[in-house]
Structure 1
């Protein structure tokens, strides 16, 4: 297994600086996100604001060993617009999730750019061979992002949860991509600066 200390380091994309966060910084920088009903529902939480205690319990705080969180800050200046998490789970697998709290950046390719950089980084600097994600079936923006990055839809969980805002029963879709497919695709960085 490659050393995981390399994983929690600052990274740059064309437009963003990705800073690794520890648990305290994560709690501080996500204060506004944990009060946003639309984002909370997208993270399979609740439509009601989360106290710091409940947020810490349900969001799996970063430890920079198996659970990582990166703050997303525009290079043009300003404060963090959201975060992207990577959690090592199972055999050489990593689960990813993202929340963009600044609505000015919604629909502007942030998730694609940031997720591609983090996937390249983790494939290059760790023993991860597979990334996967789960998304509510009606979250078309997330489905589009997974498909655009080359993920395969590998299954569905029918009637598996209830939308916290509407009470409607919802399906979830499962996506995954393996390292060899990623490295053969258009998003792969052939020489990560690890």
Structure 2
């Protein structure tokens, strides 16, 4: 499948809507997430004060083909609670998933397991992706837990792979992988979250 045409994504789970983000989705809530150390440090990003225009430019930088940005919205109230940035490789047929749930009221509520399952179904079944990749920092225990709980395989720990955004200390990074056929087998067996 060719990646040069942007595609709009709109998926629905039991509790959430996952859809393509546009510059008009920039909000003061999201700006608050970017400035919150509790939200940004687990993904090794310095908290930053952004303007609405800077956030709109960030959202607009995604081509929705090779670099995909989708938001997670609560179905009950249409509240934007987080987002996925997904990088695709047409040549390798891979998709690398990064997620931030910025609204702390939703932490510990299995948002990532529910929404990422819908995204995996979409990318494996409709976008020709053959392998999903996740690369959380080893110290990001909630992310590591979520990958393992969803059946991803830990393929390795890259020692000292990244420099900490806070202080420059070397940090270990995990690499998780999930093949399309593994996901389909888990779905068929009813084991996939």
| TM value normalised by structure 2 | 0.83
Distance 1:67 1:133, change over 3 A: same
Partner of 1:172: 173
- 34-43 or 114-123, larger mean C-alpha shift: 34-43
| SS of the residue 2:148 aligns to | helix
Partner of 2:16: 16
Is 1:155 aligned with 2:145?
A: no
Displacement of 1:112 after TM fit?
Answer: 0.4
Displacement of 1:40 after TM fit?
Answer: 1.9
Deviations 1:116-152 (A, max 9, x none): 0001011111111000011111111101111111111
| SS of the residue 1:62 aligns to | coil
Partner of 2:66: 66
Displacement of 1:27 after TM fit?
Answer: 4.3
| SS of the residue 2:31 aligns to | coil
Query: 1:85·1:97 contact (CA, 8 Å) conserved in 2?
Result: yes
Distance 1:47 1:164, change over 3 A: farther
| SS of the residue 1:135 aligns to | coil
Partner of 2:80: 80
- Structure 2 CA distance for aligned equivalents of residues 109 and 187 of structure 1: 21
Displacement of 1:42 after TM fit?
Answer: 2.3
Partner of 1:130: 131
Equivalent pairs counted in the alignment come to 187
Is 1:39 aligned with 2:44?
A: no
Is 1:139 aligned with 2:140?
A: yes
Query: 2:130·2:179 contact (CA, 8 Å) conserved in 1?
Result: yes
Partner of 1:192: none
Consecutive unaligned residues in structure 1, runs of 5 or more: 190-194
Distance 1:78 1:157, change over 3 A: same
User: Aligned Cα RMSD in Å?
Assistant: 2.9
Is 1:106 aligned with 2:107?
A: yes
| TM value normalised by structure 1 | 0.83
Consecutive unaligned residues in structure 2, runs of 5 or more: none
- Structure 2 CA distance for aligned equivalents of residues 113 and 39 of structure 1: 20
- 172-181 or 33-42, larger mean C-alpha shift: 33-42
Distance 1:17 1:54, change over 3 A: closer
Displacement of 1:163 after TM fit?
Answer: 2.6
